Amino acid sequence: MSKMLASITAVDGYVPDTVLSNQDLEKIVDTNDEWITSRTGIKERRILKKEGWATSDMAAEVAKGLLEKSGTNPDEIDLLIMATVTSDMIFPDGANTVCDKAGIKNAFAYDLSAACSGFVFALYTGAQFIQTGAYRKVIVIGVDMMSSIIDYEDRSTCIIFGDGAAGVLLEPNKEGLGIRDAVMGGDGSGRQYLHMKAGGSLSPASIETVKNKEHFVFQDGRPVFKAAVSGMRDTTKKLLDRNGLTTKDIDWIVPHQANIRIINTLASQLDFPMDRVMVNIEKYGNTTAGTIPLCLWDYEEKLKKNDTLVLTAFGGGFTWGSLLLDWTYG
Ligand code: UT7
């Protein structure tokens, strides 16, 4: 009998209705569609404007969608992990709020904070609970409401980020298909390039921190760009090597959607065809933990049983990870 693996058995997503286009941004900051498109590949992003809604509401829509699509009773969910850096509050964690809103009553739930690598971290974590036989039904969601921490007067960040959520249901698979392996990592010294200065225990919120705009994303883009390309390339190579695979054995690469130039460079350095790389950055921008599951949601109909995928991410922390999986339906 082959080893029991955790496999993805459903995917769902949620993006807000409000569209913020490059043309809209031209009216807010000193930028233009040509610069944004050529430097990032982004044309528009979604912004959550629904009265009283926050990150947990987007995630709850995903959880409800997953239950409905898979015909699962909410009481059967054992664990829900929400990858995010924009939970509703600093505490309590938002994952339990998501369970409450989605009618999930028997689950152990928690947030996982690994910025743009959050979904890959959470997926690999969730998979362990299934592989060990501890749990049978695990929901993993990647979600961020980046608009809640973006300075819409800062043209270097406001053009990049957007809001959105997507996630998967994980269940045991005895056919040998599912999450096979992952190469994960981090380097805390990279925190200087991408962070939010205040609001945590290091610098609690004060009139000064608000005045100094320290509750917004700070990013030094160039070093992050370079580290993202090499990080995703090297972890993907290591993952393939140690599983005796080459890029020819891979059907799809699903990269974090931070910048189309990062994605193009990664594909070219791995000598992998762009038409097998999932890309939707043009319509959602960078939704941080949301990008990879939003790609799976958008491309779900193209995926076939036995397709081999590499999910790869790099982000704030620094954090990174590449994960190898076989698709189990379609
Ligand atoms: O998801 C988490 C990980 N994050 C990433 O992977 C992001 C990685 N970094 C990037 O994607 C890119 O570095 C950015 C898209 C953030 C910036 O692109 P860049 O090509 O690195 O531009 P830059 O910051 O070096 O700026 C080039 C020029 C500057 O002008 P000068 O100094 O050359 O006169 C900027 O002031 O472009 C200017 N600029 C803009 N111009 C028009 C910066 N932002 C804008 C803008 N519109 N929105």
CATH code for the part of the protein at 5-176: 3.40.47.10
**Distance between Cα 219 and ligand 1 center (Å):** 10
pLDDT surpassing 70 at residue 178: yes
What average pLDDT does the segment 1-24 reach?
A: 93
3 band by pLDDT with thresholds 50, 70 and 90:
confident
More confident residue, 109 or 2: 109
- Percent of the chain residues topping a pLDDT of 70: 99
CATH code for the part of the protein at 180-326: 3.40.47.10
**Distance between Cα 32 and ligand 1 center (Å):** 13
pLDDT surpassing 60 at residue 189: yes
Closest approach atom of ligand 1 to CA 157: 16
Give 108: exposed, middle or buried? Use CB within 10 Å, 0-12, 13-18, 19+.
Answer: middle
What average pLDDT does the segment 236-257 reach?
A: 98
- Which of the listed residues 20, 21, 24, 225 should we mutate to test ligand 1's pocket, taking the one with most ligand atoms within 8 A of CB? 225
What is the rounded distance in angstroms from the CA atom of residue 247 to the CA atom of residue 322? Answer: 13
pTM of this structure = 0.97
**Distance between Cα 223 and ligand 1 center (Å):** 11
Give the dihedral sign, CA 170/94/16/319: negative
Give 222: exposed, middle or buried? Use CB within 10 Å, 0-12, 13-18, 19+.
Answer: exposed
pLDDT surpassing 80 at residue 1: no
Residue nearest ligand 1's atom 30 by CA: 156
The pLDDT of residue 180 is 97
The token pair that represents 208 in the structure block: 């000064």
The pLDDT of residue 74 is 98
Q: Which residues line ligand 1 (CB under 6 A)?
A: 31, 35-36, 39-40, 116, 155-156, 159, 221-222, 224-225, 228, 258-259, 262, 286, 315
pLDDT surpassing 90 at residue 271: yes
pLDDT surpassing 90 at residue 100: yes
What is the rounded distance in angstroms from the CA atom of residue 13 to the CA atom of residue 280? Answer: 13
pLDDT surpassing 90 at residue 249: yes
Q: Is 256 a catalytic residue?
A: yes
Asked whether the beta carbons of 273 and 330 are under 8 A apart, the reply is no
What average pLDDT does the segment 294-306 reach?
A: 98
CB atoms within 10 A of CB 224: 22
The pLDDT of residue 2 is 61
Catalytic residue among 22, 96, 259, 286: 286
Q: What secondary structure does DSSP assign to 89-131, as a single string?
A: SSSS-HHHHHHHHHT--S-EEEEE--GGGHHHHHHHHHHHHHH
All structural domains of the chain with their residue ranges: 5-176, 180-326
Locate tokens 């790389």: which residue? 277
